[in-house]
Amino acid sequence: MTKEEYVDKVRSTAVAILTECDAREWKRENEDKEFWAFEEDKNYDGQIHSILDATCGLGGWKEAIDVIQATEQDPDSVDSGLYEGCGWQRILICIAYEVFQWDVMETAKDMFETDVFEEAVMAYPDTPHQKGFFPKTKKFKIPSGPCTVKMGGGIKIYEGGRYAGTRKPSLSVVFEGEVTAMGSKNIRYTVNCRRVYNQTDTDIEDDLVRVKEEYGVREC
């Protein structure tokens, strides 16, 4: 990725954030408030971070190096507490995500303050850890169970980790999107899914096969 391609990606992501978070309307309704208030409001439920995470495209350490080489941010400024105890590949990804986030939010701030409100969204890319559907969505049906966790913006299939007395989960797959619950005893969730991603070092395609076979997840 060249510096020019990186700058284009940063700007496109900033535009997508301002679009999806209705920045123009928010500023119109909050004329006396600054960008930090907009950011705080829209991140109350993690909306901005979700968009950043979905669009950054950091599928591995090679993509992370591309970002670190293209940014003008200082990677040494990233808080080491964010990756303490991680392997070198995860360290690179953590650093790349942070500097990408800084670049995007600086660009979004400049656009917000100068009333540059373009209207565009970004398609969520596929990576080894994510299947992107947005701006379209895909429906999944997920039965309730001991490993099914209802989140604020989706459903997680989670196995292992601290609940099983181990440090890392053996499975952690998130179906992000609007959730509808059906039934009273045997609850079944329908997720209008924008993306599905994992929080482990495994491949998302393998994890999708596993949650379908072991946990009864179905595509609608």
Instruction: Return the pLDDT at 185.
Output: 74
Instruction: Return the pLDDT at 163.
Output: 52
Torsion angle of alpha carbons 60, 61, 62, 63, nearest 10°? 60
Residue 129 is encoded by which pair of tokens?
Answer: 């850890």
Instruction: Give CA angle at 122 (117, 125), nearest 5°.
Output: 160
Instruction: Return the pLDDT at 86.
Output: 83
pLDDT along the chain (220 residues), means of 10: 93 96 96 94 91 91 94 93 86 95 97 94 94 96 93 91 64 95 86 95 95 95
HEC letters along 18-85: HHHCCHHHHHHHCCCCCHHHHHHHHCCCCHHHHHHHHHCCCCCHHHHHHHHHHCCCCHHHCCHHHCCC
Instruction: Return the pLDDT at 165.
Output: 53
**CA 68 – CA 92 distance, rounded (Å):** 8
Q: Would you say 13 and 104 are in contact if contact means Cβ atoms under 8 Å apart?
A: yes
Instruction: Return the pLDDT at 190.
Output: 96
C-alpha closest to that of 116 among 44, 7, 209, 24: 24
3-state SS assignment for residue 138 = strand
Residue 185 is encoded by which pair of tokens?
Answer: 């005893």
**CA 7 – CA 1 distance, rounded (Å):** 10
**CA 65 – CA 99 distance, rounded (Å):** 11
**CA 101 – CA 111 distance, rounded (Å):** 15
Q: Count of alpha carbons within 13 Å of 192, Cβ hemisphere only?
A: 5
Residue 160 is encoded by which pair of tokens?
Answer: 């292992």
Instruction: Return the pLDDT at 4.
Output: 93
Instruction: Return the pLDDT at 161.
Output: 64
Residue 211 is encoded by which pair of tokens?
Answer: 């949650």
